[in-house]
Structure 1
């Protein structure tokens, strides 16, 4: 696996376009990988996850992938400097039960609403709705941890050692491939991301490694799901 850091040239017209449309950003990043044969989803095949960091003139993209990208395929003038690429294998090898880590995650916490019933009593498909309440956003992450092999420890105040901060919406448009759609129809994309900063404890190394590789939550093509890890400097063991 690889982690790339792309310093962005905020004066680039293409960068500004991608910043305003997460689907265009996704397309630009996918251009750094070879086309996929077969029916598998290209993003999933390449393990592509990304996150935009910084503000103003100091912006960068963090891009995680299981295949090594070719960043020479980026549009001319897209990067403001040298793109850094590092192998994540040492980080994966260091994952073990009980490991305490600091983390950052931009995710798309949602909940499923009950599906409506028709006159026959049959249930249709429910809808996903964003979670707006900060406490429920933290609870969402705790439930993700139960599924993905980690736990959020208690902070000094007794609450979960994580902070959830709302972010501006991610928006974009993509082609509408529904049979009834016009050939030029576009679907609006709206993602309400939340930034999580905190500490975690690995409880199931296999499940946690899978979550690290695959990402957490929804909207993974659109800047959500990438889990960044660092040693927990407050851990007594220095782990």
Structure 2
């Protein structure tokens, strides 16, 4: 696996004028793997857009390394870079405390009378979105680290994570324009099941993974 990043040249509107919807970002990511296109072999690439310290980045996780010239197409010159992700994955241990960042599309299914397929709708409130992540922690091999305030009982412990951004980016699908719920979480977790957690890191979580959702990255604490 490879983790790649480029700073998006948001101050050059002529260069980035095409980046007006999620499909354009998806196309950018796909075009960064010309060997796959030539071989008619499309692999899934997780990606997200990060806003950090006044700069905007495209982050991509992929099985093969991207073409850095293509990845830098809409980037600040000389900022496209890639590195092998496997050595990092190999060092993760059960019980380890990690700082995480996740951009996801929190949704839930509503049964429809007379229909075999449920209706998929986004969670709207902050509490619903926080609960969405908490409900998926065990399945994906981690526990959200909890904090107990001084003088409070253990039952009053709170999960140590926050929602740092929420928005509704546009996705063009044919002649339709859709808005997807995009939520970015940050906080602390503890690795509880190593294999499940590694699987989460390389395959993502939730829906709309092709359109910038589902990629979790972690940094060891301590």
TM-score by length of 2: 0.86
Within the alignment, does 1:107 sit opposite 2:85 as a pair? no
Query: Which residue of structure 2 lines up, in the alignment, with residue 129 of structure 1?
Result: 121
Q: Alignment RMSD, CA only?
A: 2.1
Which position in structure 2 is the counterpart of 1:142?
134
2:211 is aligned, of 207, 222, 226, to 222
Partner in structure 1 of residue 198 of structure 2:
209
Of Structure 1 and Structure 2, the greater strand share is in: 2
Q: Which moved more, 1:186-195 or 1:94-103?
A: 186-195
1:224 positional shift: 1.0
What does 1:56-205 correspond to in 2, within 5 Å? Answer: 58-74=55-71, 78-82=74-78, 83-117=80-114, 123-157=115-149, 158-175=157-174, 186-205=175-194
Contact 1:116 1:125 in 2 (8 A): no
Query: How far apart, in 1, do the equivalents of 2:106 and 2:71 lie?
Result: 31
TM-score, length-normalised on structure 1? 0.81
* Distance change >3 Å, CA 169–CA 89, structure 1 → 2: same
**Structure 1: any 5+ residue segments left out of the alignment?**
118-122, 176-185, 233-237
Residues 1:174 and 1:56: Cα distance change in structure 2 (over 3 Å):
farther
SS in structure 1 opposite 2:98?
strand
Q: What displacement does 1:202 show? A: 0.9
Greater than 3 Å deviation, 4+ residue runs: none
Does structure 1 conserve the Cα–Cα contact (< 8 Å) formed by 2:68 and 2:81? Answer: no
Quote the Cα distance in structure 2 between the aligned partners of 1:101 and 1:16. 37
Aligned pair in 2 of structure 1 residues 213, 56: CA closer, same or farther (>3 Å)?
closer
Counterparts in 2 of 1:17-36, with a 5 A limit?
17-18=18-19, 20-33=20-33, 34-35=36-37
SS for the counterpart of 1:17 is coil
Conserved? CA contact 1:219–1:225, under 8 Å: yes
The 1-side partners of 2:86 and 2:215 are apart by: 16
Q: Deviations along 1:187-210, whole A, 9 cap, x unmatched?
A: 323211111011111111111111
SS in structure 1 of the partner of residue 158 of structure 2: coil
